[in-house]
């Protein structure tokens, strides 16, 4: 689902470092920066 600047982010959850599950709602009212990078030893 594409998101444009200024759109409200869709709800989601993901595994954090250490295996703990976090959701976007855990950070309500805070600035959130997502950084995606390829896993080690992959062609990405």
Q: Specify the residue for token string 């920066």.
A: 33
Distance CA 5, CA 8 (A): 9
Cα–Cα distance, 11 to 22 (Å, whole number): 11
- Rounded Cα–Cα distance for residues 1 and 11 (Å): 12
Q: pLDDT per residue over 17-41, tens digit each?
A: 888 999 999 999 998 887 777 777 6
Domain ranges of the chain: 10-36
Structure tokens at 33: 């920066």
Considering the entire predicted model, what is its pTM? 0.55
Give Dmax over CA atoms of the chain in angstroms.
Answer: 36
Helix (H, G, I), strand (E, B) or coil at 24: helix
Q: Is the pLDDT of residue 44 over 80?
A: no
């Amino acid at each position: 689902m594409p998101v444009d600047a200024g759109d409200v982010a869709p709800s989601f959850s993901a595994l954090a470092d250490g295996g703990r599950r976090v959701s976007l709602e855990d950070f309500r009212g805070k600035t959130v920066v997502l950084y995606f990078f390829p896993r080690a030893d992959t062609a990405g």
